[in-house]
Amino acid sequence: MDTSMHSIQALFYQLGLKSDEEQISAFIEKHKPLPAHIILHEAYFWNDAQVAFLIEAIEEDSDWCEFVDQLDCLLRES
């Protein structure tokens, strides 16, 4: 069983992205606002592995789901 603590930083690491606060903020600023009609995993900036991870996290209601939702909200802020 995975007992590691998840966080937005850990999510970015899991997605293969730089996961320090400055890089997370830069990523969000670069890609927001994500239009309402685009589902998070359909955004142009994800690679295939990232898309698969995001879909799996939501469909399986995994431990990552909360942080995927948080990322989705951060990317939709204007």
Q: Can you give the CATH number for the domain in which 15 is found? A: 1.10.10.1130
31: in domain? yes
* Residue 36 CB partners (closer than 8 Å, separation 6+): 76
pLDDT by residue, tens only, the chain of 78 residues: 354 678 999 999 999 999 999 999 999 999 999 999 999 999 999 999 999 999 999 999 899 999 999 999 999 997
3: in domain? no
In the chain, the number of structural domains is 1
21: in domain? yes
Is residue 21 within 8 A of residue 61, CB to CB? The reply is no
User: How many Cα atoms occupy the beta-carbon half-sphere of 18 within 13 Å?
Assistant: 9
